[in-house]
Structure 1
Amino acid sequence: MGLKQQYRSCRNLLFRGISVPEDISTLIDIGRNEVPATQQGLAQDDIDKLWRHAESLFSSGMHPMVSVCLRRGGDVLLNRTLGYADGANHTQPRVASLQTPVCLFSASKAVSAMLIHKLAEDGLIDLLNPVSHYIPAFAAEGKAQITIHQLLSHRAGVPGVPDDVAIELLFNPKAAVEQICKQPSLHNDGRILAYHAITGGFIQAELIRVVTGKTLNEYLDEVVRKPMGMHYFRYGLEAKDHELVARNYATGLPNIGVVERQLVNILGAGVSEVVDISNSEAFLSAEIASANLYATAEETSRFFQMLLQGGVWQGKQIFTPLTVNRAVREMGKPQFDRSLILVPMRYSAGMMLGLNPVGLYGPKTHYAYGHLGFSNILCWADPERDIAVSILTSGKPVLGNHLLSLGKLLNGISSTCKPCVDMQHIYSKVL
């Protein structure tokens, strides 16, 4: 065994990584819809460099599958997938393709929030009304005045469920809603910011059911999936597609001590347990608004491109421009989140926002909006740069040797796709 192979073997053992072959060219699937970067006034070499950062992210061994879709000005500059959908450490792994569906985890929240905004657009709810106006049981234990807008903004006061509640509650929406409704609130006026990793989605799905009589997927089909011609883009997968999904892997340094405890507080279980659950038939079949929308990178980028275009896709008005504006507008100044603790956050009513000088989506991304998913899934739009981006991965590391490559990819996107839109002019226009 050569020195390079010895290094990789030790690295994989330390970081729980997968074995990466020397030649990865046979593991790459490139979309036919890519256009030359020069069509958007960019250098093709710069776009090729972005892809090399994605290749480095895969080569770290932390992510068995990496899929990237980057749109600029509506044109697809990158649409590529690299790696394995399943069996990454087996002798006959299943190679991923552009059609491999990936679980978005918490990035699902951005889509779910837009469905709630659509209810408001159609006059079925008022975002400033208390949740209890539509779901009376939610009024219990000091939550009577919590509004739908506060629910979308992670200020509903029920960021998690008690430790003695089994995580299998995920698969029983009725019981989950009952549990959340009977819980005491952290406050009664929405003053405390605390990321709702799972709970908010169950209440949102219940709102959809109460006011429309439709399930989460039925309403998603009606509003987004069918009008936009999505193949997947649904909560859970149909049984026939289970064998196609990208399997999730627990990679990276083992999470111990305060790191693991905080992750349990946020996720409701340890990382390895969450990964195992996410690969189960029950999870694949469930409809969980906060956590299990399945899509390809291109479909996710397509969704954010539609938002960039004022809610329009190929001539169809999916959302009104005013609805998009309501959904991405900042709610308060950056502040520390009681659940996420170490990270100053900017939220809208449903989105995680970028930040200057450096934010979730890279440097100088003040105008960007989107959402992160567990653990290195990033989906966003940046109107100042006129880009819609999705980075989907199947490894679930928290600490690992992938961080430098991920940082270079995010920094590269921001530096390559420089600001091209006068946001002050945009902000001066009347919707």
Structure 2
Amino acid sequence: MQNNLDPRAQAIVQKALDYATGAGGEVGVQVAAYLDGKLVIDAWSGSADPTSGRAVNGDTLFNVYSVTKAVAATALHILAERGHIDYDAPVSRYWPEYAANGKGGTTVNHVLTHRACVPQMPADVTPERMCDWNWMTNAIANLEPLAEPGSKTLYLSMTFGWIVGELVRRADPQQRSLGRFVREEIAQPLGIDDLWIGIPDEVEPRVAKQVNGMLPVPAEYLPPLFLASMPEQVALVPEVFERSDVRRAEVAGVGGIFNARSEARFWAFLANGGELDGVRLLSAERVATLNTPRANSEEPDPVMFGFPIPITIGGFWFGGEHPPVSCVRNPRAICHPGQGNSIGWADPDLNLAVAICHNRLFNPTSVEEDPLLPIAQAVREALGL
């Protein structure tokens, strides 16, 4: 695969990666990029496991946290493409139990646009229960919405994955789990090796060890809804997400374990209008709608510190000038950031797809603090964009 890559372009990106894992404070990083449907950058640097000295290579796997949401949403779009799901239909058309406690009016579109008003995780969730699909979906079906569904934005930090995943399972004629649907209907047709929502045993030795570089924020400074959406016992931290049971479970909104090469190929099919190497998964018309802003996109989100989150009707984020989407730059590009600063995007204006995976969890608060931004800039420079 690497023989087709331009050595000059690779060298520009490699220099940025080596700086990131040196003076930039990163531990291990991978970046891959597709331009016009072709792999044009595939590079990496640093350590996959600082304790053992294992180096990152192109096959190293990384926790990507909420980047997983983009893959889950795409599975739902594939079912909509095939006529198995209607965005305007109530969730309860496919999942009758979901109508409990005032959620009967929640539509599929409300879920995709984070307006389902159930950001809170079930009160008695534990890491073990998070690994039990039936327990989680039953508990979420019984939640009471915190506002009238559709009436306001309340970011579904973790619940998004189970709601979308159960919609996929219920609407799929074969009733496949989300992880299996992604393997069989996205990864295999597109020739993607490592887009895991629930890993098999044999890939675990390739998973990078996470290093938590997050700045601790005292609980009293965190919005109550932020804490409700990501409770401490199942927080997006190595202590929870490096557990072997959590790695193997389909934690559908935040549990993805990918590498940059595989993730970039996923974004490439979206950047290329729903088709890659002769395999079409979505119509060009549908993909062209995925960067339509959701209604009331400027509304502040109480879960996310009162910031407005630029989300599309397709369940993606838009690129922008500020973290966590500063790497993407183009405000028309669709992307998804993940806890700790993972990012992947599809820029339809350039037919560019990029994935950056890393193992140091750090959420920058400014462009100047973002250690991955120089890598994204190096990719554009290397490709003459």
**Alignment TM-score > 0.5, same fold:** yes
SS in 2 for 1:126: coil
Provide the residue aligned with 2:375 in structure 1: 409
Which one of 207, 230, 246 corresponds to residue 245 of structure 1? 207
Provide the residue aligned with 1:120 in structure 2: 80
Provide the residue aligned with 2:239 in structure 1: 276
Provide the residue aligned with 1:20 in structure 2: none
Contact 1:102–1:245 (8 Å) recurs in 2: yes
RMSD, aligned CA: 2.8
Q: 1:357 to 1:299 in 2, by over 3 A?
A: closer
Contact 1:65–1:82 (8 Å) recurs in 2: yes
Q: 1:384 to 1:356 in 2, by over 3 A?
A: farther
Amino acid aligned to 1:216? L
Q: 5 Å matches for 1:284-323?
A: 284-323=247-286
1:389 aligns with 2:354: yes
Contact 2:18–2:46 (8 Å) recurs in 1: no
Amino acid aligned to 2:331? H
Rounded to whole Å, the distance in 2 between the matches of 1:272 and 1:346 is 24
Rounded to whole Å, the distance in 2 between the matches of 1:283 and 1:238 is 12
Provide the residue aligned with 1:374 in structure 2: 339
1:34 aligns with 2:24: no
SS in 1 for 2:45: strand
CA shift for structure 1 position 187: 2.1
Q: How many residues align?
A: 379
SS in 1 for 2:32: strand
Structure-1-length-normalised TM-score: 0.80
Contact 2:215–2:362 (8 Å) recurs in 1: yes
Provide the residue aligned with 2:308 in structure 1: 344
Q: 1:416 to 1:340 in 2, by over 3 A?
A: farther
Provide the residue aligned with 1:231 in structure 2: 193
Provide the residue aligned with 1:73 in structure 2: 36
Q: 1:356 to 1:63 in 2, by over 3 A?
A: closer
CA shift for structure 1 position 407: 3.5
Contact 1:65–1:83 (8 Å) recurs in 2: yes
1:107 aligns with 2:67: yes
Residues 383-405 of structure 1, C-alpha deviation per residue, up to 9 Å, x if partnerless? 22331111111111236999253
Rounded to whole Å, the distance in 2 between the matches of 1:394 and 1:194 is 28
CA shift for structure 1 position 326: 3.6
1:176 aligns with 2:140: no
Unaligned runs of 5+ in 2: none
Residues 294-329 of structure 1, C-alpha deviation per residue, up to 9 Å, x if partnerless? 221011111111111111111111221133234332
CA shift for structure 1 position 244: 1.5
Q: 1:273 to 1:313 in 2, by over 3 A?
A: closer
Q: 1:284 to 1:164 in 2, by over 3 A?
A: closer
SS in 2 for 1:226: helix
Larger radius of gyration: 1
Residues 398-422 of structure 1, C-alpha deviation per residue, up to 9 Å, x if partnerless? 3699925334334555677677xxx
Rounded to whole Å, the distance in 2 between the matches of 1:386 and 1:179 is 41
1:136 aligns with 2:96: yes
CA shift for structure 1 position 217: 2.4
Structure-2-length-normalised TM-score: 0.88
Q: 1:345 to 1:229 in 2, by over 3 A?
A: same
SS in 2 for 1:78: strand
Provide the residue aligned with 1:155 in structure 2: 115
Q: 1:407 to 1:340 in 2, by over 3 A?
A: same
Amino acid aligned to 2:114? H
Q: 1:323 to 1:57 in 2, by over 3 A?
A: same
SS in 2 for 1:409: helix
Higher relative contact order (CA 8 A, sep 6+): 2
SS in 1 for 2:371: helix
Contact 1:255–1:398 (8 Å) recurs in 2: no
Provide the residue aligned with 1:15 in structure 2: none
Rounded to whole Å, the distance in 2 between the matches of 1:273 and 1:84 is 21
Residues 23-56 of structure 1, C-alpha deviation per residue, up to 9 Å, x if partnerless? xxxxxxx94442256xxxxxx5xx7444433323
Rounded to whole Å, the distance in 2 between the matches of 1:226 and 1:307 is 16
Give identity over the alignment, percent: 24
CA shift for structure 1 position 77: 3.4
